[in-house]
């Protein structure tokens, strides 16, 4: 087939996933592209191995997607929006701080998809209620959906893809990533304050009073129990997918008994087309790697155990994410980084999670955010997004990598 053809298939697959012409699902182009790869240089056994290796991750992703949707049905995000509005008062800066804190929590526990799809409209509504320009808060939200998804394996599909390769338990993964996450949040706050100083200085003027929203106690309890189960999953040798599925089942059972929820809703919320897209994309990326792209990547990753090596891995991952998108970037880079050990794999995750904030095409989450904010009536500018990324990404990536290097020496692997 050749490297050029493999790269063309990869580019077409990603372009179709981002643009989704005629509203077609991501898998419509990805599956034929994978079939061409299998008909060409990639054997059926190699393709099946790629999909089999992804199966536990895809099962977990499906469960988390359903869990997030059910939390929305339970009113978790309406409650979060009311909390944001009341806590912010009339201050745009205060609202930004609360958006950072709540957005990080949502991304950490329910993944970046929940932040983009469910939390973005909450932030828009909260800014309107407080009476301040929504622009800085919306841009902070999309940044958080990518860069704040560092703490837990469940926070991002890229983390899930790399989690097994780290060789870490759930709790130790979090222990190593907590310091990089704190650095990222600090940089995002300072960078957003700098880029949107005028918007954040505007005085608020509360419009409609914010009605008290009752806390969704059952949903919060289920989330807490699910998170505790995920922490315990490694020592108990239980697949995380079963823990997430149990949490989703608890919320689904409540809603099914009350009526107003059908089994078809749960299937739709699993987003089967997206799961098929991920599996097919893995096959296409494997083909590109086998056809020669892997040799190029392997030559870039040198001395990965040192601080300089970690910075190189993170930088290469960030650039690759902005060229190819973060999902194929982690699929491509992971086989070459894994033999170097835990530190380089975590540095790879820093690159593919923080780096995409430079461009819209860096992650599917960013493209989805763009569609959502336009649907909500906002009109984000590419120049604003790019400047915000240039201010925050290099500093956040370098600072988080240094923090990871410190954590590796203090916490150990």
Tens-digit pLDDT profile for residues 139-180: 999 999 999 999 988 888 889 889 888 989 888 999 999 999
> What distance, in Å, lies between the first and last C-alpha atoms of the chain?
41
Radius of gyration of the chain (CA): 21
Paired tokens of 87: 């806590």
Q: Please, where are the H alpha helices in 40-134?
A: 44-73, 76-88, 92-114, 120-130
Integer CA distances (angstroms), 92 to 89, 132, 312, 396, in order: 9, 6, 37, 23
d(C-alpha 379, C-alpha 412), whole Å? 45
pLDDT at 281: 84
The Cα–Cα gap between 93 and 203 comes to 10
Q: Are 273 and 312 in contact (CB under 8 A)?
A: no
Q: Is the pTM of this model over 0.75?
A: yes
Above 90 in pLDDT, residue 400? yes
How far apart CA 149 and CA 153 sit, in angstroms, is 9
Check: CB of residue 401 under 8 Å from CB of residue 347. yes
Q: 206 falls in which pLDDT band (50, 70, 90)?
A: low
Q: Return the DSSP state at 26.
A: T
| Sign of the dihedral defined by the CA atoms of residues 162, 164, 170, 172, in that order | negative
Would you state the structure tokens that stand for residue 280, as one six-digit string? 């097919």
For residue 401, the surrounding DSSP H or E stretch is helix 382-410
Q: Which of residues 18 and 56 earns the better pLDDT score?
A: 56
Confidence of residue 279 (pLDDT cuts 50, 70, 90): confident
Those residues with Cβ within 8 angstroms of residue 140's Cβ, 6 or more apart along the chain or in another chain: 96, 99, 100, 103, 188, 192
Cβ-count burial 80-114 (b if 16+ within 10 Å, e if not): bbbbbbbbbeebbbbbbebbbebbbbbbbbbbbbb
Residue with tokens 């079963």: 242
Mention every residue, 6+ apart, whose C-beta is less than 8 A from residue 50.
279, 282, 283, 286
For all residues of the chain together, what is the average pLDDT?
85
Reported as a pLDDT band with limits 50, 70 and 90, residue 92 is confident
**Per-residue b or e along 203-220, where b marks 16 or more CB atoms closer than 10 Å to that residue's CB:** ebeeeeebeebeebeebe
């Amino acid at each position: 087939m050749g490297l050029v053809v493999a790269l063309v298939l990869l580019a077409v697959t990603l372009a179709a996933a981002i643009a989704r012409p005629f509203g077609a699902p991501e898998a419509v182009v990805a599956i034929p592209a994978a079939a061409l790869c299998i008909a060409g240089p990639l054997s059926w056994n190699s393709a099946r191995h790629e999909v089999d290796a992804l199966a536990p991750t895809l099962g977990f992703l499906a469960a988390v997607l359903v869990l997030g949707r059910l939390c929305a049905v339970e009113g978790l995000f309406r409650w979060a929006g009311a909390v944001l509005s009341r806590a912010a008062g009339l201050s745009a800066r205060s609202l930004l701080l609360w958006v950072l804190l709540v957005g990080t929590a949502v991304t950490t526990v329910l993944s970046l998809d929940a932040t983009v799809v469910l939390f973005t409209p909450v932030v828009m509504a909260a800014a309107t209620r407080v009476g301040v320009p929504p622009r800085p808060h919306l841009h902070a939200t999309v940044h958080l959906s990518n860069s704040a998804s560092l703490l837990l394996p469940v926070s991002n599909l890229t983390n899930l893809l790399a989690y097994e390769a780290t060789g870490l338990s759930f709790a130790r993964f979090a222990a190593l990533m907590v310091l990089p996450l704190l650095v990222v949040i600090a940089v995002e706050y300072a960078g957003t304050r700098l880029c949107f100083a005028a918007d954040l200085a505007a005085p608020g003027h509360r419009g409609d009073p914010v009605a008290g929203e009752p806390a969704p106690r059952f949903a919060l309890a289920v989330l807490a129990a699910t998170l505790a189960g995920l922490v315990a999953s490694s020592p108990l040798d239980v697949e995380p997918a079963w823990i997430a599925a149990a949490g989703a089942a608890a919320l689904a059972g409540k809603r099914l008994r009350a009526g107003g929820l059908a089994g078809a809703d749960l299937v739709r919320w699993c987003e089967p087309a997206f799961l098929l897209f991920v599996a097919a994309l893995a096959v296409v990326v494997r083909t590109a790697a086998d056809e020669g792209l892997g040799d190029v990547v392997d030559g870039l990753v040198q001395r990965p155990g040192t601080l300089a090596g970690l910075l190189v891995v993170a930088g290469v991952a960030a650039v690759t994410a902005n060229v190819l998108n973060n999902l194929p970037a982690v699929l491509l880079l992971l086989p070459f980084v894994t033999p170097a050990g835990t530190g380089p794999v975590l540095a790879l995750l820093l690159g593919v999670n923080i780096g995409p904030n430079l461009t819209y095409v860096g992650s599917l989450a960013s493209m989805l955010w763009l569609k959502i904010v336009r649907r909500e009536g906002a009109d984000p500018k590419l120049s604003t997004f790019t400047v915000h990324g240039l201010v925050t990404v290099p500093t956040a990536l370098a600072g988080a990598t240094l923090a990871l290097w410190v954590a590796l020496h203090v916490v150990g692997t």
